[in-house]
Amino acid sequence: MWSQRRVVDYGLAKKAVVRSLRSGRASRGDVCDAQPYLLRAARHLGEPTERLCPVCERENVTHVTYVYGDSLGRHAGQAKVMSELAAMAHDYDEFRVYVVEVCQGCSWNHLTVSYVLGNGPPDLVGQA
């Protein structure tokens, strides 16, 4: 997306959780704990992926995208579909996007990536 910046990838944290589950240090109940609201958002607003759930390995995970930011007003904290983000990036100065992967079969959920969007000034790298 044209205004995407300050990207944080949570892939290493996800690998650690899955490794902990497979080694027996965590239980399936510890990691498959999606709240009903998140599962509903996955069903109605989620975007399907081609990646199998790392826990049950039976269903593909769904991405649910949430937006947060002071400038969003009543839209803050809402789940959005990716197609809405481009318009929002033009309409708002700055807001943070969080993408959560959810398995609707076993209730696995994990934050995958977050980033900032908006039409505010770009980040100035290397300047104080």
**Per-residue model confidence (pLDDT) at position 124:** 55
Q: Looking at residue 26, what DSSP letter applies?
A: S
* Residue 76: Cβ within 10 Å count: 14
**Per-residue model confidence (pLDDT) at position 120:** 75
Per-residue pLDDT tens digits for 26-71: 999 999 999 999 999 999 999 999 999 999 999 999 999 999 999 8
Per-residue pLDDT tens digits for 85-103: 999 999 998 999 999 999 9
Token representation of residue 22: 């497979």
The answer to whether the predicted template modeling score (pTM) of the entire model surpasses 0.85 is: yes
In sequence order, what DSSP letters do the residues of 49-97 get, joined into one string?
EEEEPTTTSSSEEEEEEEEE-GGGGGGTTEEE-HHHHHHHHHHSS-EEE
Stated as kind and residue range, the H or E segment containing 110 is: strand 109-117
Strand partners, 52: 60
| pLDDT, mean of residues 111-121 | 90
**What confidence tier does 4 reach under pLDDT thresholds 50, 70, 90?**
confident
In this model, does residue 127 exceed pLDDT 80? no
